[in-house]
Amino acid sequence: MKQCYDAVVVGAGPAGSAVARDVASRGFSVLLLEEHSVIGQPLHCSGLVTPRTLTLANVGEQVVQNELRRAVIQSPLGEQLPIGGDRVYALAVDRVRLDQAMAGQAQESGAELILDARFLELEQANGLVRTWVERHGRRTRVMTKLLIGADGAQSRVAKQLGVHRSHRTVIGLAAEVRAKEAVRDQVTVLLDKDVAPGWFAWVIPLGDGRLRVGTGTANGLKPVDSFRRLRARLPQYFNGDPMLAMAGGRIPLWSPMRLYSDNVLLVGDAARQVKPTTGGGVYMGLVGAKHAASVAVEALQREDFSAAFLSRYQKAFMADAGDELKRGSDLRRLFAALSNAHLERLLARLRSERLAGLINNHGDIDFPSRLLYELLRAAPSLAAFVRAPLRFPRAWLRRRARQEEA
């Protein structure tokens, strides 16, 4: 580890490694810091992504565990809404291998990767950033022109900037179990406010005799209690066998925050670039990384690291993904307001052949607001589910209609 770099990236998850890769590939010196001894561990992700995510990551099939063509949405009373079947909607991926592949890309592009390196604090002075790092019990100072925080939901870089406030957060807990009564290419999603209050539970087949089963909670219920209720609710996936692995963590749902300061950018979970509807952070984090790297390269070329110039990053990211994130936040508030009785009636309505066909055609976990627009346009009576528990913002529906016309 040298004493000075053009850019220092804190966190070697997909977003951090993507930024490090893209900046280093332009010939700048980049240091990539990872606080753990093994890239990708401990695991904090369900590992469900869309094919476009791997395209954006520039990672191939070596990380894919299973292709998923179908899903079943299960109601609180056990009724099911089957969807999909004609194409690959999502992929179950090995997140450890994905993270390691992307960190390897960063190294191949010229970035220096240091493991067991914990970011402590930053000091801004004379147009540079003093970055204090702890490694093997020793504090080291590294100077950089640009510091990029990609250090997760509890980002120390964001806290140092004073932008890490209390936001909406889901706490998830998942286990890997031996597959029982599962369809190889079918995800199961359980909507039950008693099991997963404010969120949902999931069963993802990994295609090798294992399932990833998890749940989340957003109302203060302890994750272990939510998981215990899930086991009682879906006992067919457990049957008393010991669980193969457990993983959990905080999911920082998107909400507006400042992603830049003088000499500093935030990306990925540290920037809350996480879909409010599903909690997926890999795709949105990579979108953020693309824009962060572009602005970082331009800043290094111009030698301009002012907040005024770096604000271009947030503007570019929001122009690309902001509309979907805002609409996803609306959907998240709507879902949180629905009771189990509302969910039961809504899923019964969606089981009609016409609406199920729309779901199959327009369903996309990266862009869920598009599906809602199509459903409301085809069946205006669904607005009753929108207005009953929560006044839904009609303005974005009109805006969506204008976008479709354009």
- DSSP per position, 274-298: --TTT---HHHHHHHHHHHHHHHHH
User: Tell me, what's the pLDDT at 238?
Assistant: 83
User: Tell me, what's the pLDDT at 118?
Assistant: 95
Instruction: Choose the CATH number for 4-44+96-166+256-326 among 3.30.70.260, 1.10.357.10, 3.30.300.30, 3.50.50.60.
Output: 3.50.50.60
User: Tell me, what's the pLDDT at 327?
Assistant: 87
User: Tell me, what's the pLDDT at 207?
Assistant: 84
| Spatial distance between the Cα atoms of 14 and 275, rounded to a whole number of angstroms | 16
User: Tell me, what's the pLDDT at 270?
Assistant: 95
- Report the largest interatomic distance among the alpha carbons of the chain, rounded to a whole angstrom: 65
User: What does the pLDDT look like over 193-207, one tens digit per residue?
Assistant: 999 999 999 999 998
User: Tell me, what's the pLDDT at 387?
Assistant: 57
By CB neighbour count within 10 A (0-12 exposed, 13-18 middle, 19+ buried), where does 208 fall? Answer: exposed
User: Tell me, what's the pLDDT at 260?
Assistant: 96
User: Tell me, what's the pLDDT at 86?
Assistant: 79
User: Tell me, what's the pLDDT at 199?
Assistant: 94
Q: What is the pTM of this model?
A: 0.92
Give CATH 3.30.9.10 domain extents, the chain: 64-92+168-252
For the chain, which ranges sit under pLDDT 70?
164-167, 180-182, 240, 386-406
Is 1.20.120.340 the CATH classification of the domain at 64-92+168-252?
no
User: Tell me, what's the pLDDT at 191?
Assistant: 95
Give CATH 3.50.50.60 domain extents, the chain: 4-44+96-166+256-326
User: Tell me, what's the pLDDT at 244?
Assistant: 82
| Spatial distance between the Cα atoms of 69 and 184, rounded to a whole number of angstroms | 9
Full 3-state SS string of 351-372: CCHHHHHHHHHHCCCCCHHHHH
